[in-house]
Structure 1
């Protein structure tokens, strides 16, 4: 199997749909080659086991923010970009919880049955089930493969981070990121996009392992950014 020079690990609800759109267009125009675009089923362990690439690229997002976006994405069945029907378990989950805050607060409910429904919903809703552990495994795996990780972007600084990645991969400026809700697969207006302090604490507690992974990635990102910025500057000066 040919190893990709670079590989995009698409972590759900971090901006990967927009990045994929640009990189796919660049590949179709044969501007950049040997960039693997890996779907949601692929995790870091799969990349390691199959040696898909030695230069992994991915974006991260603060877990509570990612939780809210993930809940709303499945609540609307992926519309307007997708139309993925609910599973039976998701249908039950959304019968009980209509907003991300309702589910988040129910994780510490005094009512044992409501709390059980909330815990079931966290494993039933697809984008919530596919947490950072699904994609990145563990802090131990990340540490083991730290030299394989080439670039970590952040959703919170998405445009500037993608601008740097564009330079590194040689993607021309005329291939622009989608800015509409459909193209970027963003949550449209009309959906609840916040949680209460109680809801936030509950998600932070429930996603403790995810926060450990997220913090490792955030730290590694800060280490990689100066290296990648220097590399991009060198590429620009060589033109």
Structure 2
């Protein structure tokens, strides 16, 4: 039986998907994996699926997830770099704006923070290597989901991966590892522009995956479309 693998790109709703997969077992040989497993770790011929999200939305989600050390779902102590980063930048916007600071020290601190904070520092290409490699494995890619409409995407996905029709995603904050509603998700125009530049390669990959979705008869997901998710 062909194996089907879920690649868990950080801060893309994967915790909710894994919870659903555990609660409603698939009729296929379906395996979930931790963040450290990349596409290159999956044997050629095995099927994979994954979910993406707008890179700036992912930044905001990752920033606040690590600021609270992953609690209450996880408990990951800060690294020394994260401790310094969150001491200097209490909000996602303060870090985003500082990337273009005219003060050399402030700009350098922001760049160090972007490289220090888990989830914030990762790129989609950490999982997919580069466009050429990704496209060489495109026949193994069963489904590309978009977190902005995760519930609707799940209805399509569960048909492909042999989950029962009654399967649903969990909705509570603990099981979905969703950020609390009170965190300040707002970003200024300067902050957004800086982040678009910082994650420009991820936006190119996001666009590539959207084009593949369209080729497969799925609707494209607009950049920035939808509310904050897990």
TM-score (norm 2): 0.89
Q: Secondary structure at the match of 2:145?
A: strand
Q: Secondary structure at the match of 1:127?
A: coil
Q: Which 4+ residue blocks in structure 1 deviate beyond 3 angstroms?
A: none
1:44 to 39, 44, 56: 39
Contact (CA 8 Å) 2:15, 2:177: kept in 1 or not? yes
- Deviation per CA, 1:35-85, whole angstroms, max 9, x where unpaired? 1211100111222xxx07521100110111111111111011111211111
Inter-partner Cα distance in structure 2 for 1:163 and 1:46: 27
Q: Does 1:9 pair with 2:7? A: yes
Residue 32 of structure 1: how far off its partner (Å): 2.5
Unmatched runs of 5 consecutive residues or more in structure 2: 219-230
Q: Secondary structure at the match of 1:214?
A: helix
- Deviation per CA, 1:201-232, whole angstroms, max 9, x where unpaired? 10110111111111111111222245xxxxxx
Unmatched runs of 5 consecutive residues or more in structure 1: 227-239
Q: Which of structures 1 and 2 has the bigger CA Rg?
A: 1
Q: Higher helix fraction: Structure 1 or Structure 2?
A: 1
How many residues are aligned here?
218
TM-score (norm 1): 0.86
2:73 to 66, 81, 84: 81
- Deviation per CA, 1:72-117, whole angstroms, max 9, x where unpaired? 1101111121111111111011011111100000001000111111
Structure 1's 90 and 5: CA in aligned 2 closer, same or farther, altered over 3 A?
same
